[in-house]
Amino acid sequence: MKNIVVLLIIVLFSISCSSPGTEKAPNLSMNPSDLLEFQAVLISQTATENLKLTNIGEGDLEVYSIALLNQSKVDFKISSLQTSYGVNTTVESATYPVVLKKDEYINLKVVFEPTEEGLKETQIEFKTNVKGKETYNYAITSVGLFPEIDVQAGAEKNINTLTVKACPDGWPVVRASSKIDICNLGNAPLKITELNLQDNSGSFEIEEINLPVKIVNSGVEKRCVQGLSICHKTNPGETNRLTIVNNTSYDEYIVNLVSE
């Protein structure tokens, strides 16, 4: 009887050890945890951030592939793949699967080099043996690059009305005393494509400049087309409207003109 009891205990212990519920499973953790966000990186500049994938499970984590989605978005790339146990290669040249034991990690160097304005985003796709995360997509984004137009008259910013003085003798060789500055306060190039007067009969005139004009700005301080002269050849109190066509989200900036 004693031998039967011992045998029963051994069988139960064997069944318990082979239970699927006790199998060691891998799990992954990302750092940064939710999102890799690049701060304001200017056009044609480059920034690099680290993205770490760590095995926080008990079993071996196998990474079968790593790929940037939306390959047409050339603003992002993965420059290198490094592991905590000394592998230093690229995503394209790595030997897959990359196997990570508990607490081992992969570190990716993600490079961002914006080529045009706007918000940039993509995802890195990981193929793994983690249950529920066999295909794991991780988001990458950037602070948007946008131009911002500001029209100024002297110390007055963001004007929508300008009092215009009469054209001086010798105009346009002699410049008028009524002037505006067209400024870029954003962090992407501002493009001025047209300067249009609503009434172009000649009662109001604006200094001719070569268009289009591109006002490049680093976002650190304003950059302007300065001292653009405007004058009138009409009676006091007459009105007109100057439309500044540009590449901001508003497309047009309107300045109402009133003759002095």
* Domain final residue pick, 142, 162, 187: 142
Q: Is residue 69 domain-shared with residue 96, that is, in the same domain?
A: yes
pTM for the complete prediction? 0.68
Is 7 among the domain residues? no
Res 108: pLDDT: 98
Of residues 1 and 22, the one with the higher pLDDT is 22
Q: Is residue 158 domain-shared with residue 101, that is, in the same domain?
A: no
Q: Is residue 92 domain-shared with residue 180, that is, in the same domain?
A: no
Is 18 among the domain residues? no
Q: Is residue 30 domain-shared with residue 136, that is, in the same domain?
A: yes
Q: What is the CATH number of the domain that holds 182?
A: 2.60.40.10
Is 2 among the domain residues? no
Average pLDDT over residues 80-100: 96
Q: Is residue 165 domain-shared with residue 125, that is, in the same domain?
A: no
Q: Lowest mean pLDDT: which of 4-18, 24-38, 233-247?
A: 4-18
- DSSP labels for the chain? -HHHHHHHHHHHHHHHHT-GGGS----EEEESSSEEEE----TT--EEEEEEEEE-SSSPEEEEEEEES-TT-TTEEEEEEEETTS-EE-TTTPPSSEEE-TT-EEEEEEEE---SSB--EEEEEEEESSTT-SEEEEEEEE--B---EEEEBTTB-S-SEEEEPBPPTTTTTSPPSEEEEEEE-SSS-EEEEEEEES--SSSEEE----SSEEE---SSS-EEEEEEEEEE-S-TT-EEEEEEEESSTT-EEEEEEEE-
* Residue 102, domain extent: 24-142
Percentage of the chain lying above the pLDDT 70 cut:
88
Whether the pLDDT of residue 102 is over 90: the answer is yes
Whether the pLDDT of residue 1 is over 70: the answer is no
* Domain final residue pick, 124, 142, 160: 142
For the chain, the domain total comes to: 2
Average pLDDT over residues 103-119: 92
* Domain final residue pick, 81, 115, 142: 142
Q: Is residue 196 domain-shared with residue 241, that is, in the same domain?
A: yes
Q: Is residue 131 domain-shared with residue 161, that is, in the same domain?
A: no
